[in-house]
């Protein structure tokens, strides 16, 4: 694998995807883990009226200004939808795309739909409950607890304000619920951009990937013994799969 190969990793509804120290596992890649609007270093940005298109445009700016060469994109969950929008809009910037249980349709937005249906007050209470008990948040996802995983969960939960999560959840429901949303994936496929699919064994059965996307993809890998947060449960194995996809 060429050391110069760039991989831009786009986090999901809650970031940052840098929490599992991907550079420690993928040291032959040039890694980038940008914060989306309203997250992490950009948490002060006004995210109330945010859209997935806005997030894709922010990634495109990052690619132009901070990477400066065609790169692989990896999008986890909501980040998978953003990555698909980027690849559809700027194919010359994208060497390939890895969708890690990325949102294709509204069927992939179970949690976002739940959050979007709550009032600001109701979501604030629910969010505070999560912040106060990161261990319970992991257990609800079927993840075996350890001190390291609880610390990582705490980092993830505190990475962005309550309002950003709500705004992104509403954007996901609004935009992926549109019949036109899948056109972006069709554009990526028709452009011939290499696409890989990666899911966790426990969660992949609920991933609504259109059959034509599966057919067009170079691979569809299921990571054993993991769920939707496979990079938290098995970071080394996750990284090995990603590196193999890029090398292949």
What is the spatial distance between Cα 134 and Cα 115, in angstroms, rounded to a whole number? 18
Average pLDDT per run of 10 along the chain, which is 248 residues long? 80 96 95 97 84 97 96 98 98 98 96 96 97 96 96 97 96 95 98 98 97 98 98 98 96
Contact criterion met (CB below 8 Å) for 72 and 13: no
**Per-residue confidence (pLDDT) for residue 1, from 0 to 100:** 45
**Per-residue confidence (pLDDT) for residue 187, from 0 to 100:** 98
**Nearest-CA neighbor of 228 among 124, 109, 128, 131?**
109
What is the spatial distance between Cα 185 and Cα 216, in angstroms, rounded to a whole number? 10
Domains plus CATH for the chain?
Answer: 6-247 (3.40.50.1820)
Contact criterion met (CB below 8 Å) for 34 and 101: no
Contact criterion met (CB below 8 Å) for 63 and 40: no
Contact criterion met (CB below 8 Å) for 92 and 27: no
**Nearest-CA neighbor of 76 among 245, 213, 232, 228?**
228
């Amino acid at each position: 694998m060429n050391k110069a190969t760039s991989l831009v990793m786009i986090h999901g509804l809650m970031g940052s995807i840098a929490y599992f120290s991907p550079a420690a596992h993928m040291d032959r890649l040039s890694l980038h883990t940008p914060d989306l609007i309203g997250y992490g270093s950009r948490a002060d940005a006004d995210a109330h009226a945010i859209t997935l298109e806005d997030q894709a445009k922010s990634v495109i700016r990052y690619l132009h200004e901070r990477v400066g060469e065609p790169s692989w994109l990896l999008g986890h969950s909501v980040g998978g939808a953003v990555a698909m929008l980027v690849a559809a809009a700027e194919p010359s910037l994208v060497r390939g795309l890895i969708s890690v249980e990325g949102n294709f349709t509204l069927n992939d937005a179970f949690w976002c739909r739940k959050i979007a249906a709550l009032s600001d007050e109701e979501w604030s209470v629910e969010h505070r409950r999560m912040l106060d008990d990161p261990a319970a948040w992991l257990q609800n996802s079927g993840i075996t607890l350890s001190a390291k995983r609880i610390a990582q969960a705490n980092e993830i939960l505190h990475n962005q304000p309550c309002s950003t999560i709500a705004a992104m959840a509403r954007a996901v429901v609004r935009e992926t619920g549109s019949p036109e949303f899948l056109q972006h994936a069709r554009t990526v496929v028709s452009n011939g951009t290499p696409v890989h699919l990666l899911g966790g064994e426990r969660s992949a059965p609920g991933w609504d990937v259109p059959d034509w996307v599966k057919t067009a993809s170079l691979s569809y890998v299921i990571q054993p013994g993991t769920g939707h947060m496979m990079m938290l449960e098995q970071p080394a194995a996750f990284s090995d799969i990603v590196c193999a996809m890029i090398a292949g």
